[in-house]
Amino acid sequence: METISTTYIGGLRTEATHVKSGNTLITDAPVDNHGKGEAFSPTDLLCAALASCALTIMGIAARTHNINIDGTQVRTTKIMGDNPRRVAEIILEFDFAKKDYTEKERKIVEHAAKTCPVMLSLSPDVKKDLRFNY
């Protein structure tokens, strides 16, 4: 069954619709690749998907182990490579609202982030740098 329906709307812009919910999002080519950069680029979405997936799986692990990660934020940096043009590196910096996690709790949430489905789906050629700031 179809999950997402995407339409090219012109001007290097697409509109993707999540079929089940009807939610939509726009992508735009980045300025450094002939676009206007007025919305997420497809490669931005790749990086955002990684950050969101890591946080979601961390949340599941946290709930299972009664750990509070509410308010945790991720700052994401995308580094592009050339020949071929691709995402070469993704840096995720996790900033935890709570600062007094035990070593065991830190290991649980960090392992969850490092083994989320998007992380495991990315090519080993994409460098992933995860930084955990407690």
Residues 55 and 121 in one domain: yes
Kindly state the average pLDDT of the residues 57-70: 98
Query: According to the model, what pLDDT value does residue 128 have?
Result: 98
Predicted model pTM: 0.94
Residues 47 and 101 in one domain: yes
Number of structural domains the chain divides into: 2
Q: Is the pLDDT of residue 99 over 90?
A: no
Kindly state the average pLDDT of the residues 12-37: 96
Cα angle value 41/33/88 (rounded, 5°): 70
pLDDT tens-digit series, residues 117-127: 999 999 999 99
Residues 24 and 79 in one domain: no
Enclosing domain of residue 50: 42-133
| CA nearest neighbour of 133 among 99, 89, 85 | 99
Cis peptide upstream of residue 84 (ω within 30 degrees of 0): yes
Tell me the average pLDDT of the chain: 97
Residues 49 and 9 in one domain: no
Q: Is the pLDDT of residue 22 over 90?
A: yes
Distance, CA of 48 to chain centre: 3
CATH code of the domain covering residue 115: 3.30.300.20
